[in-house]
Amino acid sequence: MGNLDSLSILVTGGTGSFGKKFIETVLKEHKPKKVIVFSRDELKQYEMQREGFDDPRMRYFIGDVRDRDRLRRAMTGVDIVVHAAALKHVPACEYNPIEAVKTNIGGAENIIEAALDSGVKKVLALSTDKAVNPVNLYGATKLVAEKVFTQGNAYSGTAKTRFACVRYGNVVGSRGSVIPLFKKQRETGTVTITDERMTRFWITLEQGVQFVINSIEEMIGGEVFVPKIPSMKIVDLAEALAPDCKKKIVGIRPGEKLHEVLLSEDESRNAMERSDSFVIFPENTTWRKESWPKSNITDGFRYASDTNEEWLTVDQLKKMM
């Protein structure tokens, strides 16, 4: 029996790339009592059912994470919540900043309040490398959301509800990555690259889903789980996807970094390194009597995409895709 067997699971943003792969994996490899998709787009839910997600254990809730009452209704009898809903497009968040705050920060607050009111056991929220030392609004809202979730355990007190986060980089195959853009651009014979020096972390959907499942099982409340994943230069990514195309340098976009960071120097003081991941422990823990493990990381360590020890080759990326 797996750790998700006989449990009721709700996935916000369940019609997205991650949500669909997570639900597919849970239904195939575990025996959940019920899996609830919570999202605001009825067309995507309809299409998801048409794609084969019509298992009798599936439920589809129309709702927005901005609506706390609807979340409470959806979380009735739920054991696990995986929070994947967010406004994620960097330029869209810059142009619609208040909307980004309402969804990414206000939505996080609503998830916490509804989970506490409904007696949910565990809530795991998805974050991003852009939340580390953020330079754009999307990253800033995800940083706040991380803090809201990790410190949300203080509201739980002695109750059973616990909150934690996972944080990882760009997802190969997701709709929001640069890969679909390069695939479309190669039809024109030219792909656009912002800066030849740029590097990014990469993870597959399957790896992200398994990491989330493992983190749900392991979480105590307050952690941020960070997988060790490979880096790749954007120019190498373009070469893998469009080897015969011209490469046009267009300059770095507003709110964009040359390199991403998954673990900062300040965070590493309160983090534990493991063979395949890092775990960042909260500094303030009023909800936990036991002390967290002491850090085993060298002072000043920074886990960044440009200094990463693991790199993807062009052939390896092709296999991942």
Residues 21, 130, 142, 257: which is the catalytic one? 130
Q: Taking a C-beta distance cutoff of 8 angstroms, is the pair 163, 152 a contact?
A: yes
Cα–Cα distance for residue pair 223/288, rounded to 1 Å: 12
Distances (CA, A) of 260 to 25, 180, 321: 28, 20, 21
The verdict on whether 130 is a catalytic residue reads yes
Beta strands in the chain (DSSP E): 8-12, 34-39, 58-62, 80-83, 122-128, 162-168, 170-172, 190-193, 199-204, 224-227, 231-233, 246-249, 261-263, 271-273, 277-280, 303-304
Interior angle at CA 187, CA 181 and CA 191, nearest 5: 50
Beta strands in 94-239 (DSSP E): 122-128, 162-168, 170-172, 190-193, 199-204, 224-227, 231-233
Cα–Cα distance for residue pair 12/19, rounded to 1 Å: 8
Polymer length in residues for the chain: 321
Cα–Cα distance for residue pair 30/51, rounded to 1 Å: 20
User: Looking at this protein, which amino acid is placed at residue 79?
Assistant: D
Q: Taking a C-beta distance cutoff of 8 angstroms, is the pair 244, 266 a contact?
A: no
Cα–Cα distance for residue pair 88/176, rounded to 1 Å: 8
Kindly state the tokens that stand for 289: 């009597």
Kindly state the tokens that stand for 147: 């803090």
Q: Which sequence positions are flagged as catalytic?
A: 130
